[in-house]
Chain A
Amino acid sequence: QKEVEQNSGPLSVPEGAIASLNCTYSDRGSQSFFWYRQYSGKSPELIMFIYSNGDKEDGRFTAQLNKASQYVSLLIRDSQPSDSATYLCAVEDGNQFYFGTGTSLTVIP
């Protein structure tokens, strides 16, 4: 079983809608959770990170952790065409840093 799993998508949402991206992880001891955005041909760019003690909101982005079900989600409100990218989830479990394979998001104007 992979340590971090994401639905590869593509996920398509209309402009202005809420995009919901999910990521599941296998290690219950995971402490740190990260969301990166990667445009085609570019490097991953940090969007948000949370620790096991709570959710976080930053502008249009909200990261939520469900420890019982072992998944972390990223919500993007008022989606814009510029949000179209691949979103990578990363989890740090105290020993290793694991990335998911990413979810491709397309925001349709």
Chain B
Amino acid sequence: DAGVIQSPRHEVTEMGQEVTLRCKPISGHDYLFWYRQTMMRGLELLIYFNNNVPIDDSGMPEDRFSAKMPNASFSTLKIQPSEPRDSAVYFCASSFGSRNQPQHFGDGTRLSIL
């Protein structure tokens, strides 16, 4: 069974550019989570969806960040405009049944904003 699939694996872009990160959750999972990981702050929850509906976006740092989940098998996290402080590893994770079930992580997108 395929795991959580994220793309791209690496992204390097200049400040001010739009960045779009993509995620395909595990088939049948109804919860999807976006995280950001940095050395300073560790793993931070940005937003999560249940059945494609955003439930809690309180972790989204600024209006420059937005996330969508148009269907059960696809989600995007967009940063526009990007800034150097957005450089981090962004993980997508999914789980089944309820929020307190184990989450399965994708391989992450390593984002560098120059």
A-contact bits for B71-99, CB 8 A (1 contact / 0 none): 00000000000000000000100000001
Interchain CB contact under 8 A, A32 and B100:
yes
Residues of B contacting A49 in the complex (Cβ-Cβ under 8 angstroms): 102
How far apart are A28's CB and chain B's nearest CB, in angstroms?
16
* In the complex, chain A residues whose CB is within 8 Å of the CB of B43: 44, 88, 99, 101-102
From DSSP, what is the main secondary structure of chain B's interface residues?
Answer: strand
**Complex interface: chain B residues within 8 A of A94 (CB):** 100
Known A-B contacts A96-B45, A101-B42, A102-B42; the reply to A45 vs B33 at CB < 8 A is no
Chain B residues with CB under 8 Å of A102's CB are 42-43
| Best-buried of A31, A46, A97 by chain B (most CB within 10 Å) | A97
Interface residues on A, range: 20 to 34
Chain A nearest Cβ from B76, distance in angstroms:
19
Instruction: Sort chain B's interface into a size bin.
Output: 10 to 19
List the A residue with the shortest CB-CB distance to B58: A96
Question: In the bound complex, how far is the Cα of B104 from the Cα of A99, in angstroms?
Answer: 14
Cα distance A44–B35 in the bound complex, in angstroms: 11
Name the residue of chain B whose CB is nearest to the CB of A100. B42
Chain A min CB distance to B59 (Å): 9
Interface residues of A in 17-64 (CB under 8 A from B): 31-32, 34, 42-46, 49, 51
Residues of A participating in the B interface, judged by any CB pair closer than 8 Å = 31-32, 34, 42-46, 49, 51, 88, 92, 94, 96-102
A44-B91, A100-B42 provided; 12 other pairs, C-beta below 8 A? Answer: A34-B103, A43-B91, A43-B106, A49-B102, A92-B100, A94-B100, A96-B56, A99-B35, A99-B43, A99-B44, A99-B45, A101-B41
Cβ-closest 6 pairs across A and B: A101-B42, A32-B100, A99-B43, A43-B105, A92-B100, A46-B102
